[in-house]
Amino acid sequence: MAADCIFCKIAGGKTETEFLYENETLVVFRDIKPHTPVHVLIVPKKHIRSVNDLTEADSKIISEMMMVAKEIAKKESVSESGYKLLFNVERGGGQVVFHLHLHLMGGWKR
């Protein structure tokens, strides 16, 4: 756990944040300021700053994040209508929380 990292605190169960899903690798919770009707964050328990910091040893974490995203999309009823999966990388890429996370966004009426 990194000091002063909000997602380390959340993933470690140290806040009131409700999990949609949790396993030994990651947690899933709703974005506090949703940009879309369904806006969920898939967050590994391991503190990794961004995609830039991934190593070969993190491959399993990334694949789990994608597989869980697919299942959460189903649960949130956006599989059929469609959704976006997004990693913001560093400041220029829109990242503001420097603990790796995958955005799952969907639920538009299109």
Residues tagged active-site: 101
Question: Using CB under 5 A as the criterion, what x/- string covers residues 50-89 for binding Zn ion?
Answer: ----------------------------------------
- Of 71 and 90, CB closest to ligand 5GP: 90
- Of 16 and 80, CB closest to ligand 5GP: 16
Pick from 65, 56, 55, 49: which is nearest to 98 by CA?
Answer: 49
- Half-sphere exposure of residue 30, counting CA atoms within 13 Å on the CB side? 11
Under the binding rule (CB under 5 A), the answer on residue 5 touching Zn ion is: yes
Pick from 47, 79, 76: which is nearest to 61 by CA?
Answer: 47
**Minimum distance from residue 97 beta carbon to ligand 5GP (Å):** 4
